[in-house]
Chains A and B, each alone.
Chain A
């Protein structure tokens, strides 16, 4: 049965492309690009198997594959997916071919190495979303850093080296503390269940939540720091504008579209279910940071002069919504957060693609260099309009669904017993209209530049290839906006399960400070 190893197949399929590329002459640019594109497209097609055979009714993980890796430490190669992983895996496999297609001619040097790095990155990201063993998860999490470092550092903009090193150091700092926490968790859990060290996530789910609060708090913080840097949550966001702006377009698309989601994914998959008591204590604080990030990111976006930087800061704002949705700990909020992760991947991914497309034409991204572009590039203008509106959260497009659910969740939250969270977050929606529409107005409208020259280049409208790359995104933007149920139904089970765990923790067991095994609470699953 293919279902037994489909997750591994999808995860490692991009590596096949890398092997193929080794045999392609590095001068044959078109063949290299085709191999890269077709491999990633095939990965997407394979991942559709997961979508069609996924059973939304089943609790827990599906398509599970497990075999012993390191017997002594009870570490296994253990992969499987639930609704959350499913959506993230689909997002990854969907965005990678689009990113490659949309930036077909953007990269001019060392195309073979570039394509290999993107494919390597894809495997790393898929592995992160599929791992059900903390050790395996960590290996993928770190392994992903290296291709991203080179993508930014080799094919990026002017300050690429600085941005790459900053990205690497920030992320590594967080993840090494996470490694310490992972090992510590394995040991503490082993004392709880009187057994051996383990990093098996499913086993840890049932024991880790019984750890005493102080331990939970420390480990939650170690995990959360790593995820907060990745998200990035205010005030850990300072690496992001540099990395985004300097990265090549495809790098930015994948960085914004998928990599940032790993942080929020980590919160839902690890932080919350492993440390429910700590979650209850920390949720308000993280939510405050999320709301500050929403407003701060939006305000900073308004004053940006560089379009790409504007989009980068808008990510800080949008991801703030996701984090708020998670820590509201209501079903609506959690569902909203998950769907908003997908939305942000689509919208911001598309925004970066569009910015990249116009940059390839005129080699500038300064808003003041533009004006009247809509007259010269009507197709581009309509795409940018749709995507901007989706990002703002116009009803009928995808962004609305996510933001609405998150605000609703934050408003009804018993954990965040204060309406100010939702109120300030709603301010972010308004501000996002300000910065995106104002940017749109300055770039698209107004008089056409003298002689139609922008930064010394003429503007031509989108090519067929570029349109083909953008249409699938728009399709999903509308689909999610009109009928989100397709996707919400997939993530319903995991949202419900996670929220219920917190609710039972809140009700059933008062916060314990002593190390007392507690049997009153039912374990997860």
Chain B
């Protein structure tokens, strides 16, 4: 027993590092309250080390802590992804006027950021129903506080409260679903659940109810329609660094957990390798159709509502809902091709979405506004930022020669390969709609003159450097993407599936 725990801990190093970093950050906040940025550096180093530990786990595939957590290429992929996002967000935080105004509480801010990262790492690996709920709660609780971090601002507090209410409700529903599933199968680990389901003796109706309840929890985390209502308000009200973090990392963790849950519990291990085996143990209900409908609703609503937004943060919030819809298309298929497409999309999405948020943050720092009118003539007031925004938006639309196109290309390929042609067509039409609102911003930036006699905007070099760092991969992966494709393909392996 002890031996097993010791072995498990050695496989648990990334999370252990984060836990230590969390404690150090809290203490650091007390010690360095005169130099609060120091805590940020500590957090940065801690996360960097944990990514390093995660990289060491590449190629490992085993289960630790009696099946609570899986350490496999799939989990490692998401840990690296989430860790990288966390690093970039810490860098963002050093630039954010919003965060810097609350100097006194910055230790708290960075420690919570680390806690949230820890929660997401656990989500990526969770292979037990209880672990799943715990990891989700850890992430959510930290993010509730962070969403309301600038408590002086009314909309931030409102965002936080809304977030808690929706979060509490949906995790309650999910927990209920989990308890039903446990009652049906007598197991809490995914593989046990899978074995029990494979006997085919479970009641279809209760299984249906349980699974739909669990989907509510996932849907809330990845902000899929109709569980998305919290997203726009929270994204608008939260500090922009947190918004960016939620829109990429939190979504990635949600997807990781959802994909693992579906794939490991619902696959018929006797029929592995066959697409039809994918949902075999829950036959009698067409799960992939349900997901397809969710995906269509999510992207269509996200895109259509985004068209009406004038606040850039809100616009990006709806756009990120739409992107969750695109990625859900990959989950619908749940084949290796579909999952690889989702992973590729996440890598691409990291750069383009964070890049867009960085521009919004930089502009808001200077002008204090996120309104679309602020962007009038931005392309001339600061050409580099303007061009960067063009690249990020073209990529978010999914046009070549940017990385976003590659993401869409692989998603569509997977769909067409699995004969989901109508879904691919819906996805394509949605991209056209999305172009409209992205172009509205670009139009203001380049085709409209600045209001009044607004002069050039000068941004500090570190911010511009970070911008370029995000911009280069957005272009580069559009032209040469073999490495990310290979990385994604190598990361499909999950513990429990041969």
Contact = CB atoms under 8 A, between A and B. Distances in A.
Interface of A: 70-73, 138-139, 142-143, 145-146, 149-150, 153-154, 160-161, 164-165, 168-169, 172-173, 176-177, 179-180, 183-184, 186-187, 197
A192 B443 CA distance: 45
B428 A154 contact: no
Contacts of A138: 400
Given A70-B481, A168-B435, A183-B416, A142 B447 contact: no
A154 B446 contact: yes
20 contacts: A72-B482, A73-B413, A142-B399, A146-B399, A153-B443, A153-B446, A160-B447, A161-B448, A168-B439, A169-B432, A172-B432, A173-B432, A176-B432, A177-B425, A177-B429, A180-B424, A180-B425, A183-B409, A183-B424, A186-B413
B69 interface: no
Contacts of B400: 138-139, 142-143
B394 interface: yes
Contacts of B485: 70, 72
A143 B400 CA distance: 6
B421 interface: yes
A176 B447 contact: no
Interface in B370-405: 390, 394, 399-401, 405
Given A138-B400, A142-B400, A168-B439, A71 B482 contact: yes
Contacts of A184: 416, 421, 424
A160 B446 CA distance: 12
Contact of B439 (A154, A165, A197): A165
B417 interface: yes
B436 interface: yes
The interface residues of chain A, by DSSP majority, are classed as helix
Interface in B437-457: 439, 443, 446-448
Given A70-B485, A169-B439, 5 more contacts: A73-B413, A139-B405, A149-B439, A161-B448, A183-B416
Given A143-B401, A197-B413, A169 B446 contact: no
Contacts of B416: 180, 183-184, 187
A145 B447 contact: no
Contacts of B482: 70-72
Contact of B447 (A161, A173, A179, A183): A161
B412 interface: yes
Contacts of B439: 149, 165, 168-169
B17 to A, nearest CB: 34
Contacts of A146: 390, 394, 399
A139 B446 contact: no
- Please name the 10 residue pairs, one residue from A and one from B, whose CB atoms are nearest each other, closest first: A176-B428, A139-B400, A153-B447, A184-B416, A173-B432, A142-B400, A183-B416, A142-B399, A161-B447, A180-B424
A168 B447 CA distance: 14
B191 to A, nearest CB: 31
Contacts of A176: 428-429, 431-432
Interface of B: 390, 394, 399-401, 405, 408-409, 412-413, 416-417, 421, 424-425, 428-429, 431-432, 435-436, 439, 443, 446-448, 481-482, 485
Contacts of B447: 153-154, 160-161, 164
A128 to B, nearest CB: 12
A100 to B, nearest CB: 22
A170 to B, nearest CB: 9
B429 to A, nearest CB: 7
A399 B408 CA distance: 43
B431 A150 contact: no
A450 B416 CA distance: 68
Contacts of B436: 165, 169
Contacts of A165: 436, 439, 443
A56 B400 CA distance: 34
B243 to A, nearest CB: 27
B149 to A, nearest CB: 38
Contacts of A179: 408-409, 412, 428
Contacts of A183: 409, 412-413, 416, 424
A272 B406 CA distance: 28
Nearest to A218: B421
B322 to A, nearest CB: 15
B412 A180 contact: yes
Contacts of B413: 73, 183, 186-187, 197
Nearest to A153: B447
Contacts of A168: 435, 439
Contacts of B399: 142-143, 145-146, 172
Contacts of B428: 176-177, 179-180
A72 B482 CA distance: 8
A111 B248 CA distance: 39
A408 B448 CA distance: 50
Nearest to B428: A176
Contacts of A173: 429, 432
A139 B400 CA distance: 5
Contacts of A169: 432, 435-436, 439
